[in-house]
Amino acid sequence: MTDAPLVNVVELTVTELSAALKRTVEDSFGHVRVRGEVSGYRGPHSSGHVYFALKDETARIDAVIWKGVFGKMRIKPEEGLEVVVTGRLTTYPGRSNYQIVIETLEPAGVGALLKQLEERKKKLAAEGLFDEARKQLIPFMPRVVGVVTSPTGAVIRDILHRLADRFPRDVIVWPVRVQGDGAAQEIAAAIRGFNELPEGGRIPRPDVLIVARGGGSLEDLWCFNEEIVVRAAAESMIPLISAVGHETDVTLIDFASDRRAPTPTAAAEMAVPVRAELLSQIAALGARQVSCWQRGIEIRKRELRSLARALPTADRLLADRRQNLDNLSERLPRALRANAHVHHQQFSRIAGRLSPSLLRARLERSNVLVDSFFTRGQRAYATYLARRGDRVRAAGQLLNAFSYRGVLSRGFALVRDQQGVPLRAAAAVAPGMRLDIEFSDGRIGATADGAGSPGAPEAPRPKAKSGGRGGQGSLF
């Protein structure tokens, strides 16, 4: 009796039951807003979709963000981040569970944002992106200033006005969104785009960059805390000044930039000096230079006058020299006569030793020495030639002993191929091969009529006909 009603229950397949549950869940929970902690987040799947779970103290629910929605999200999910999501509740028949398809995601209050900001700051600092050692100096007087900001806000007007007041420079503005979806990507692309401009190109490459935005809430300034923006600022080879928000606003780009300005106007003041002050300094330095030059000239004049008074007159300087000259001019004739007399005596003594008989005796002794040296030289040369002749004959005998021609004279022959290479084995001879055979008394040509086999007995060889290389019969 009790089992009879169950027989009338409609029978469903698993697929039909899953589809019915899916319709029921989606109809009952079209759109929901859920608060929970991100769990199991591992980044986007290879397909671009994102899968994780939301949990609280007692329960969890699977979550999915489709690729197109994830790319537009301003705040990305992070492990352990408490968020508030909006989406559709649905089921996944493949595993018989339900999940939420997220359409929007935001942190659960300012506290969650600050926690995420602090964790991201620690992570990027650990990578060295905030190190002071890698920061660059701001150029003193840039030729071109690049500005990354919104082209319609008051920030760009304040920067242009301040630059014009202090020192007019060429300004290139890269327009970007500074708030909302896609703002971080545009800011990072602008920083990298300025760095990729070539030197001397059609668009001049800036010497300094200013990334600026007016004040706002933490959520409004969040795009300047994104990793893509911070990394682009850290990688910039152009010195970068960050001017985001008011003086009390702090974003992560401030730590990665080369200089932080409290306001956009202050950033313009950091970028260029005051032209009027420079002109005043140049004028003051010019006046000081002229004054120093004049004082130096006066000091040199006084020193010259003092030295001139201390110097003796020309007559006093030349008086002693004139007197010495007069004394020497009087002594010169006597000295010349005495010198000539001394040299005449020396010549007379030497002339006495150069008599003809003495010269003939010295010449005869020299001839005797020359004859003796000639005779000794002849004997030494003959001995030298005899020794060299003995060495040559010994070398010739040694050469003949080692020469292959001695072997040929004993009845052997040397066989070569057409290139003149000696053949050492019968296997190297091919049929019809031209051969050159050298005997002790000459060389003849021959043609092989067959290849020999190693170890085979030698066939009787016909006698070779004389008459040169042509007409030679077979050797085998």
Q: Can you spell out the DSSP letters for 188-252?
A: HHHHHHHHHSPTTSSSPPPSEEEEEE----TTTTGGGGSHHHHHHHHH-SS-EEEEESSTT---H
The two tokens of residue 51 are 């899968």
pLDDT (0 to 100) of residue 450: 64
Q: CATH says 118-273 is which class? A: alpha beta
Q: What is the percent of the chain where pLDDT is above 70?
A: 90
Residue 200 has pLDDT above 90, yes or no: no
pLDDT at 66 over 80: yes
Pick the closest to residue 472 from 441, 442, 434 (CA basis): 434
- Predicted confidence at residue 106, as pLDDT, reads 80
Q: Give whole-number Cα distances, 138 to 207, 255, 276, in Å.
A: 9, 15, 20
Q: Reduce the DSSP state of residue 429 to 3 states and report it.
A: coil
Judge whether 223 and 183 are in contact, CB under 8 Å.
Answer: yes
Quote the pLDDT of residue 110: 58
CATH topology of domain 7-108: OB fold (Dihydrolipoamide Acetyltransferase, E2P) (2.40.50)
Lowest mean pLDDT, pick from 180-194, 288-302, 412-426: 412-426
Domain ranges of the chain: 7-108, 118-273, 275-312, 403-476
Residue 4 has pLDDT above 70, yes or no: no
Mean pLDDT of the residues in the chain? 84
Tens-digit pLDDT profile for residues 308-338? 888 877 777 788 888 888 888 888 888 998 9
pLDDT of residue 297: 93
- Sheet with 414-416, side-by-side order of all strands: 414-416, 434-439, 442-447
